[in-house]
């Protein structure tokens, strides 16, 4: 954030009435978001990050609903479904390009299914085929969650526009990935039917006044983020081209703010881990059959250059 914006933010936030409970209906903010996302009011719920919204969705389900989770994908779908004792069906993604199998959802064993799609997918960086997702939405016994945490970095169309068409669709958004992770602000968009169910579970003051005010400010100054998003996308493409040239790495194309890589073999992995430690580089590693994979978050130009320079000397 520029110094100028930081100063204006500090000025704005100081007038927040922290002696009062937050406005649990968040009237002002809803109007701003309605205009910003071009969607109908009443179709929002806010969360303390979208993690909380995932938890609210899963808490509201009856125990006979099957939770369908692609693998690999964002781990919280699985973690929260498991601690709520829900039935889980893992959808194994295609090994080459990590897309959904064409028959995803066709052999449903239960009448009630919920699907979680990170769009683009974390950690693979690709979008699933939107026609497969739309096909699942056509079955009214399904609930489909399209989690657009990383969509700001992609040029694919959001599912928000389908909300009036499908009342079994939920779209999640967060401000975490564009530079406001500490504020903890997530949004859930859906038609009225599901929103009513979630409102029964949601705690009334789950998002604090400082966060609500901050989001008002940042929506008004969104161009600041747009500049940074463009820079990140630009850096991602540079990093991707450089990673592709590293012989022992297979880099996957990404529409998010990270790049998934796969090392050639276990021998390289041992050396690679030592290399990361020696150079004080922390990137995301995986278990559960993905031991050769790492997810690299796109950093600043200087950080990315450092990584590439280090890799050249590997
Ligand atoms: C796909 C996806 N959804 C949701 C989240 C959670 O975001 P938040 O910080 O809003 O809780 C993450 C965070 O890593 C994510 O990768």
Q: Does 51 contact ligand 1 (Cβ within 6 A)?
A: yes
Exposed / middle / buried, residue 180 (Cβ in 10 Å: 0-12, 13-18, 19+) = middle
* Together in a domain, 65 and 32: yes
* Chosen domain end from 187, 203, 221: 221
Q: Does 70 contact ligand 1 (Cβ within 6 A)?
A: no
* Together in a domain, 34 and 88: yes
More confident residue, 103 or 193: 193
Tell me: the pLDDT tens digits for 228-269? 999 999 999 999 999 999 999 999 999 999 999 999 999 999
CA distance 82 to 69: 12
Task: Ligand 1, residue 54: give the atom nearest the CA.
Answer: 4
* Together in a domain, 148 and 250: no
Q: Does 178 contact ligand 1 (Cβ within 6 A)?
A: no
Indicate if the pLDDT at residue 104 is higher than 80. Answer: no
Give 76 Cα–ligand 1 centroid separation in angstroms.
8
Q: Does 153 contact ligand 1 (Cβ within 6 A)?
A: no
Q: Does 257 contact ligand 1 (Cβ within 6 A)?
A: no
Question: Which residue's CA lies nearest to atom 3 of ligand 1?
Answer: 149
* Together in a domain, 145 and 9: yes
More confident residue, 155 or 30: 155
Taking the whole predicted model, whether its pTM rises above 0.85 is answered as yes
Indicate if the pLDDT at residue 44 is higher than 90. Answer: no
Average pLDDT over residues 207-213: 95
Average pLDDT over residues 154-164: 94
* Together in a domain, 231 and 215: no
Banded pLDDT at 205 (limits 50, 70, 90): very high
Alpha helices in the chain (DSSP H): 3-13, 27-37, 50-59, 75-83, 130-138, 192-201, 209-220, 223-244, 266-278, 301-312
* Together in a domain, 26 and 148: yes
**How many domains does the chain contain in total?**
2
* Chosen domain end from 204, 221, 238: 221
Which pLDDT score, from 0 to 100, does residue 43 have?
Answer: 82
Indicate if the pLDDT at residue 55 is higher than 90. Answer: yes
* Together in a domain, 10 and 94: yes
* Together in a domain, 57 and 205: yes
Banded pLDDT at 111 (limits 50, 70, 90): confident
CATH number at residue 67: 3.40.640.10
Indicate if the pLDDT at residue 107 is higher than 80. Answer: no
Q: Which two tokens stand for residue 127?
A: 């979008």
* Together in a domain, 251 and 210: no
Domain coverage including residue 90: 3-221
Average pLDDT over residues 116-136: 96
Indicate if the pLDDT at residue 41 is higher than 70. Answer: no
CA distance 5 to 273: 39
Q: Does 46 contact ligand 1 (Cβ within 6 A)?
A: no
* Chosen domain end from 186, 221, 256: 221
Give 313 Cα–ligand 1 centroid separation in angstroms.
34
Which pLDDT score, from 0 to 100, does residue 23 have?
Answer: 85
* Together in a domain, 207 and 247: no
Q: Does 255 contact ligand 1 (Cβ within 6 A)?
A: no
Q: Which two tokens stand for residue 232?
A: 């990140």
Indicate if the pLDDT at residue 51 is higher than 90. Answer: yes
Give 245 Cα–ligand 1 centroid separation in angstroms.
30
Average pLDDT over residues 38-64: 90
Which pLDDT score, from 0 to 100, does residue 153 have?
Answer: 98
Q: Does 73 contact ligand 1 (Cβ within 6 A)?
A: no
SS3 6: helix
Using CA of residue 245, residue 246, residue 250, residue 254, what is the dihedral sign?
negative
Q: Does 50 contact ligand 1 (Cβ within 6 A)?
A: yes
* Together in a domain, 182 and 233: no
**Comparing C-alpha atoms, which of 70, 71, 68, 66 is closest to residue 85?**
66
Q: Does 284 contact ligand 1 (Cβ within 6 A)?
A: no
Banded pLDDT at 40 (limits 50, 70, 90): low
Pairing mode of beta strands 44-47, 186-190: antiparallel
Q: Residue 155 to residues 120, 132, 236, 274: CA-CA distances in angstroms?
A: 10, 19, 14, 37
Q: Does 49 contact ligand 1 (Cβ within 6 A)?
A: yes
Average pLDDT over residues 210-222: 94
CA distance 289 to 125: 18
* Together in a domain, 234 and 189: no
SS3 298: coil
**Mean pLDDT rounded to a whole number for the chain:** 93
More confident residue, 55 or 280: 55
Q: For a substitution probing ligand 1, which of 150, 174, 207 has the most ligand atoms within 8 Å of its CB?
A: 174
**Comparing C-alpha atoms, which of 101, 169, 161 is closest to residue 132?**
101
CATH number at residue 292: 3.90.1150.10
């Amino acid at each position: 954030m520029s110094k100028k914006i930081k100063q204006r933010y500090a000025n704005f936030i100081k007038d927040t009435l922290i002696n009062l409970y937050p406005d649990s209906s968040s009237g002002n903010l809803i109007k701003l978001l309605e205009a910003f996302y071009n969607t109908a009011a009443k179709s929002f719920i806010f969360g303390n990050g979208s993690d909380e919204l995932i938890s609210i969705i899963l808490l509201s389900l009856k125990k006979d609903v099957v939770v369908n989770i692609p693998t690999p994908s964002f781990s919280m779908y699985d973690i929260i479904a498991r601690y709520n004792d829900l039935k889980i069906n893992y959808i194994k993604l295609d090994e080459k390009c990590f897309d959904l199998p064409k028959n995803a959802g066709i052999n449903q064993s239960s009448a009630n299914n919920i699907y979680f799609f990170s769009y683009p997918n974390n950690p693979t960086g690709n979008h699933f085929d939107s026609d497969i997702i739309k096909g699942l939405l056509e079955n009214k016994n399904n609930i489909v969650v399209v989690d657009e945490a990383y969509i700001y970095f992609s040029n694919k169309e959001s599912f928000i526009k389908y909300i009036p068409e499908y009342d079994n669709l939920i779209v999640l958004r967060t401000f975490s990935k564009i530079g406001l992770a500490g504020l903890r602000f997530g949004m859930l968009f859906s038609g009225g039917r599901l929103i009513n169910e979630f409102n029964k579970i949601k705690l009334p003051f789950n998002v604090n006044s400082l966060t609500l005010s901050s989001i008002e400010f940042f929506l008004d100054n969104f161009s600041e983020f747009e500049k940074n998003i463009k820079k990140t996308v630009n850096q991602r493409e540079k990093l991707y081209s450089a990673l592709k040239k590293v012989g022992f790495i297979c880099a996957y194309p990404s529409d998010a703010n990270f790049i998934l890589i796969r090392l050639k073999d276990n021998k390289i992995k041992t050396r690679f881990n030592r290399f990361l430690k020696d150079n004080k580089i922390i990137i995301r590693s995986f278990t559960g059959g993905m031991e050769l994979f790492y997810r690299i978050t796109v950093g600043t130009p200087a950080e990315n250059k450092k990584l590439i320079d280090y890799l050249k000397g590997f």
